A and B are shown apart, each in its own frame.
Chain A
Amino acid sequence: MPARTSLPLSDLELDALTELVNIGVSRAATSLRDMIGKQVTLSVPRIDLLTCTEAAQTISEKESNALVGVHQAFEGDLTGRALLIFPEANSLELVRAVTGGDLPLEDIVSLEQEALAETGNIILNNCLSTIANMLNRNFKISLPQVVHGTGATIFDLSGCDESKDAVLFLYIDFNVMERDIRGYITMLMDLPALASLQKLLQEFIRRTTGEQSGA
C-alpha cells in the first residue's frame, strides 16, 4: 500500500488511485480470462513514487531473465504509459493460450508479435478505459508496441525518461492458473501528469462519497 511521504497525493487520493487501478486491472483480468479460458489471479496493487531506474530494479528483483513488454501511451486529460510485462520465456505460452492451443509451433512463432500486441491491447485498453470511465474522462490510447528487454532496460525502451524527477509507478502481478504464465501490469506517470491526476482524483472522491467540500 502507499507509504512514501514524498508522494504529493493525500492518503485518500492514493487510496482512490489504488482502487481505480484495482478495478481497471480486475476488468482486464476478466477479459484475459475470457480469452484463454483459465482463471487469472491478481496481487494487491502497489503504488510508489520512483525513478525509472528504481522502477526497473523492482522488476529486475523479480525477473532476472529476458522480458517482453507491450507498451501503450495514453494522453488527454491524463498522460502516461501503461505496460504489460512478462518473461520472454512465457511469451509463446501466452500466444498459445490466446490462440486456443491448436496451432503448430511455427504458426505460433510467426504470430507471436501480432498476438502479443493484440493481447496487450485488449488488457491495457480494458484497464485504461475502465479508469477513464470512472474518472468521467477520455484518454487517447496509442497503438500497442512490443518491446523486448530486461528489467533494467524495458522502461527505457518504453520511453521512461530518467531525466524526469520521478514517476508514479503502479504495479500488479498476475498469474494464469494451470499455465506457466505470469506478468505485471504497470503504469507510469511523471510529476506534471500527477498534478492533473490529483484534480481528477479529487473530483472522483467527491462524486463517490457525495461530499461537497474540497479535498
Chain B
Amino acid sequence: MTLKVLIVDDSRLARMSVIRALARLRPDFTYIEAGHPDEAITLMKVQGAQAAIVDFNMPGRDGLALTNELRAIDPDIPVAVLSANAQQEIISRTQQLGATFITKPLTEPALDAFLSEAAARQRK
C-alpha cells in the first residue's frame, strides 16, 4: 500500500527532515509539500493526499486549525501534528481531533508508527 503524504511546515529544513525520514522508511511513498497552510489546502484540493504531517506553530494559523480544514476536505485523512511544544493542552487537543502528536525533532520510529497506522487505515 503506497500513500501520497502531504507535508506542511513553514520551515523548509523541517520539511526536508520529514522527507528524508519518509524516503528512508517508505521509499515507495510519494509526497507533496507546502510551506503555508493556505498552500496546503490548495494542494489537498487539487492533488489530494492520503495522509498529512503538519507543523504546529506556523504563521497564519496553527497545525490544529489546519487539521480541521483538511478534515473538511477528507474526513478520514490520518494527520500527524509535529511539534516540540509538547504541552498537555496541545497534545490533548490533537488527540481530540483523532490526530497523532509527534515530537520534534522528528525520530524515525515515531514517523514509522504513524505511517503504519495511516497505511492500515487506507486498507479498510
Interface residues of A (CB under 8 A from B): 1, 11-12, 15-16, 18-19, 22-24, 26-27, 29-30, 33, 39-40, 42, 44, 130, 134, 205, 208-210
Contact = CB atoms under 8 A, between A and B. Distances in A.
Contact of B84 (A15, A16, A27, A210): A27
Given A22-B57, A23-B105, A26-B104, A209 B85 contact: no
Given A44-B59, A208-B16, A208-B17, A33 B11 contact: no
Q: Is the interface of A mostly helix, strand, loop or mixed?
A: helix
Give the residue among A11, A27, A134 with the most B Cβ atoms within 10 A: A27
Contacts of A27: 84-86
B119 to A, nearest CB: 23
Contacts of A23: 84, 104-105
27 contacts: A1-B59, A15-B12, A15-B13, A16-B13, A18-B11, A22-B57, A22-B84, A23-B84, A23-B104, A26-B57, A26-B83, A26-B84, A26-B85, A26-B104, A27-B86, A29-B85, A30-B86, A30-B87, A33-B89, A39-B89, A39-B90, A44-B10, A44-B57, A208-B17, A208-B20, A209-B16, A209-B20
Nearest to A133: B105
B11 A210 contact: no
Nearest to B86: A30
A119 B90 CA distance: 22
Contacts of A18: 11
Contacts of B59: 1, 44
B43 interface: no
A16 to B, nearest CB: 5
B11 A22 contact: yes
Contacts of A29: 85, 87
